[in-house]
């Protein structure tokens, strides 16, 4: 047992200050243990949110020495014995009291997001998914909604006025997850992310990825792929060129038409069962044109103009395990 020095923020929405405390620390303890001991021995009204003490509920988010962390997963042994450890509430969200903040911003943004849209031709209970269908998006399902990524993102951390237009990294991984979902019938996830969720505000600093306790590669695996696809369509130099030289009537001859087709089964490597997504695909749609009737050239060069999902069409199954960062423990 050692007596260690702490600075803990006490206060509410009207203001507060860092108070000094000396608290007993035992071998193997985490910061949340220290807060509990502080409540038990010196400050019975210290407010702190927590539930599982196992890194799974996402409740105990706080800033420890200025770093967004989970209190229950931050070992005291990672600090020097003579170090003073500061514990403060999340900075991006309004303080309710002491270490408890109002994180409703994140739930409001989640509510604004269009939900999973099941395919019209399948009834509940008829959905069939296989492991390879979720290889890319399974990583995103590990999110425990601790909102450390939201708290870290400079777009809203220092700019409260960006909050109405910016949903944040937690919602970007949800958008990517749904866009990679083989049964989601919406084909405009990345457009929604760009136009309504503020994807364009993100300048891929990767700070959100650095603090994620679930080690989700938020930037590399969700944000950058979505940005690339948006940029492909909007800012490709070929698109600019196409706008100058092509007109709507030239497009008509290049875009295939026909009835709705049923996707799958998808051909896979020898020895593996074929995959049938059981999903109706819309027929290819005419490519976007600008106000003057010119068409984006990259649409015309695509082998599947206006394909259903930009994430789904360039995948070959099974996905190379080396390009995945999630492995099923039994595989």
Q: What's the DSSP call for residue 75?
A: B
Q: What are phi and psi of 45, to 5 degrees?
A: -100, 15
Q: At closest approach, how far in Å is the CB of 202 from ligand SF4?
A: 3
Q: How many CA atoms lie within 13 A of 219 on its CB side?
A: 14
- Listed in sequence order, the DSSP H helices in 31-102 are 31-41
Tokens of 59: 């409740």
Work out whether 214 is an interface residue with ligand SF4 (CB under 6 A): yes
Tokens of 310: 């930009």
Q: At closest approach, how far in Å is the CB of 259 from ligand SF4?
A: 41
Question: Nearer Cβ to ligand SF4, position 70 or 305?
Answer: 70
What character string, x for contact with ligand FES (CB under 6 A) and - otherwise, covers 52-71?
xx-xxxxxx---------x-
Work out whether 204 is an interface residue with ligand SF4 (CB under 6 A): yes
User: Which of the listed partners (ligand SF4, ligand FES, none) does 72 bind, with a CB threshold of 5 to 8 Å by partner kind?
Assistant: ligand FES
Point out which span in 21-29, 85-93, 120-128, 217-225 binds ligand SF4 (CB under 6 A): 217-225
Buried b / exposed e over 38-77, threshold 16 CB at 10 Å, is beeeebeebebbbeebebebbbbbbbbbeebbbbbbbebe
Looking only at residues 96 through 155 of this chain, which bind ligand FES when binding is defined by CB under 6 A?
none
Q: How far apart are CA 4 and CA 24, in angstroms?
A: 6
Q: Is 215 exposed, middle or buried (0-12, 13-18, 19+ CB in 10 A)?
A: exposed
Question: Nearer Cβ to ligand FES, position 89 or 225?
Answer: 89
User: Which of the listed partners (ligand SF4, ligand FES, none) does 208 bind, with a CB threshold of 5 to 8 Å by partner kind?
Assistant: ligand SF4
Q: At closest approach, how far in Å is the CB of 171 from ligand SF4?
A: 10
Question: Nearer Cβ to ligand FES, position 74 or 194?
Answer: 74
Q: What are phi and psi of 62, to 5 degrees?
A: -160, 180
Q: How many CB atoms lie within 10 A of CB 177?
A: 22
User: Which of the listed partners (ligand SF4, ligand FES, none) does 50 bind, with a CB threshold of 5 to 8 Å by partner kind?
Assistant: ligand FES
Q: Which of 287, 214, 195 is nearest to 249 (CA)?
A: 287
Work out whether 143 is an interface residue with ligand SF4 (CB under 6 A): yes
Question: Nearer Cβ to ligand SF4, position 87 or 216?
Answer: 216
Number of residues in contact with ligand SF4 under rule CB under 6 A: 28
User: Which of the listed partners (ligand SF4, ligand FES, none) does 51 bind, with a CB threshold of 5 to 8 Å by partner kind?
Assistant: ligand FES
User: Which of the listed partners (ligand FES, ligand SF4, none) does 260 bind, with a CB threshold of 5 to 8 Å by partner kind?
Assistant: none
Q: How far apart are CA 283 and CA 261, in angstroms?
A: 7
Q: How far apart are CA 106 and CA 93, in angstroms?
A: 10
Q: Which residues bind ligand SF4 (CB under 6 A)?
A: 143-149, 152-153, 155, 169-170, 173, 202-208, 211-214, 216, 218-219, 223
């Amino acid at each position: 047992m050692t007596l260690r020095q702490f600075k803990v923020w006490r206060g509410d929405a009207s203001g507060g200050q860092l108070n000094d405390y000396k608290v007993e620390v035992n071998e193997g303890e985490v910061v949340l243990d220290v807060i509990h001991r502080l409540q038990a021995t010196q400050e019975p009204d210290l407010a702190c949110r927590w539930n599982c003490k196992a890194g799974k509920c996402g409740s105990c988010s706080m800033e420890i020495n200025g770093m967004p962390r989970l209190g229950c997963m931050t070992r005291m042994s990672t600090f020097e014995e003579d170090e003073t450890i500061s514990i403060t509430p999340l900075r991006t969200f309004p303080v309710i009291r002491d270490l408890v903040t109002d994180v409703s911003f994140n739930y409001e943004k989640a509510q604004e997001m269009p939900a999973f849209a099941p395919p019209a031709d399948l009834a509940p209970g008829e959905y069939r998914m296989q492991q390879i269908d979720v290889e890319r998006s399974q990583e995103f399902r590990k999110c425990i909604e601790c909102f450390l990524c939201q708290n870290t993102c400079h777009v809203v951390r220092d700019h409260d006025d960006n909050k109405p237009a910016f949903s944040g990294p937690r919602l970007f991984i949800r958008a990517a997850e749904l866009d990679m979902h083989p049964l989601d019938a919406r084909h405009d996830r990345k457009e929604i992310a760009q136009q309504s969720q503020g994807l364009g505000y993100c300048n891929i600093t990767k700070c959100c990825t650095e603090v994620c306790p679930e080690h989700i590669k938020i930037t590399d695996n969700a944000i950058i792929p979505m940005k690339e696809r948006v940029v492909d369509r909007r800012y490709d130099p070929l698109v600019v060129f196409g706008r100058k030289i092509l007109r709507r009537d030239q497009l008509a001859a290049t875009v295939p038409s026909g009835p709705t087709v049923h996707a799958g089964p998808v051909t896979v490597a020898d020895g593996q069962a074929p995959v049938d997504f059981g999903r109706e695909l819309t027929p290819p749609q005419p490519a976007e044109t600008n106000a003057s009737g010119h068409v984006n050239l990259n649409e015309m060069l695509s082998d599947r103009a206006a394909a259903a999902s930009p994430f789904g069409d360039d995948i070959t199954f099974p996905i190379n395990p080396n390009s995945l960062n999630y492995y099923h423990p039994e595989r």
